[in-house]
Amino acid sequence: MIPIRLLADTSTEPILPGTAVLRMETTPKRTGTFDGAWWPRSRNLESQLSGLLAALTARLGPLARVGLDAGAWDERPAQLVVDGRTVRIDWSAVGDDTMIVTRGDQDHFMFLVIPPQTAPSRARAAMAMAVRGDNHASAERILAATGVTPADQTRERRGAPGS
C-alpha cells in the first residue's frame, strides 16, 4: 500500500505568469467533492500538465493515468512521460471542468480545473471553495459562484481576442 502523502497548501504563494497553480486539500480525510484545484495558464496540455504531474508524483508517488475533457485542450496525446514513467491520458467529452488523477489501480484524486483566462481573484476564490472539506458543489456551481463566466471558459478555445 502506498502511504498517504499530501501536497502543501500553496494558496499564499504568488501567482506567476506561465506557471500552473495548484491547491490541494491538506488533510487525509478527503471529504468534499474535490481533492484539489488546478489553474493552468494556457490550453497547451504538454507544457502545463507535465509540470503538474511531476509535482504530484513527487508528493503522491507514481501516477497511472489522468482523465481530462477533450474539448478543453489544444492537443490530445494518449500519454505523457513523467520522471521516466508513462502516464496514460484518458479523454472524454464531458465538458465538466474537472480532472481525475489516478495513483495505483484505484486511488483517485478529483481536481477542479480553472479556465486559463480566469482573473486571478476569481481563480483563487474558486480554488479555495473547491478544496474546502465541506464543499459538495459541482465544478459548474463553484465556477458560477466565484464569477467565472462562460466567456472565461471558452475564450481561448475559440481563439477570440485576448487569448
Quick one: pLDDT at residue 3?
53
Per-residue pLDDT band at 67 (split at 50, 70, 90): very high
Alpha carbons 162 and 148: distance in angstroms, whole number: 16
Tens digits of residue pLDDT in 3-49: 545 555 565 666 655 555 666 666 566 667 888 889 988 888 888 89
Mind giving me the DSSP string for the chain? Answer: -PPP--PPP-TTSPP-TTS-EEEE--STT--SS-SEEEE-SSS-HHHHHHHHHHHHHHHH----EEEEEGGGSS---SEEEETTEEEEEEEE----SEEEEEETTTEEEEEEE--TT--HHHHHHHHHHHT-TT----HHHHHHHTT--HHHHHHHHHT-TT-
Q: What mean pLDDT, rounded, does the chain reach?
A: 80
Distance set, CA 72 to CA 83, 102, 111, 130, 142 (Å): 25, 19, 14, 19, 18
Alpha carbons 86 and 27: distance in angstroms, whole number: 28
Query: Which amino acid is residue 139, in one-letter code?
Result: A
The more confidently predicted of residues 126 and 28 is 126
Quick one: average pLDDT of 77-81? Answer: 94
Per-residue pLDDT band at 113 (split at 50, 70, 90): very high
Residues 57-95: b if buried by 16+ CB within 10 A, e if exposed:
beebeebeebbbbeebbeeeeeebebeeeebebebeeee
Quick one: average pLDDT of 115-142? Answer: 89
Residue in the block written with cell 502516464: 87
pLDDT above 60: residue 116: yes
The more confidently predicted of residues 22 and 140 is 140
Q: How many CB atoms lie within 10 A of CB 140?
A: 14
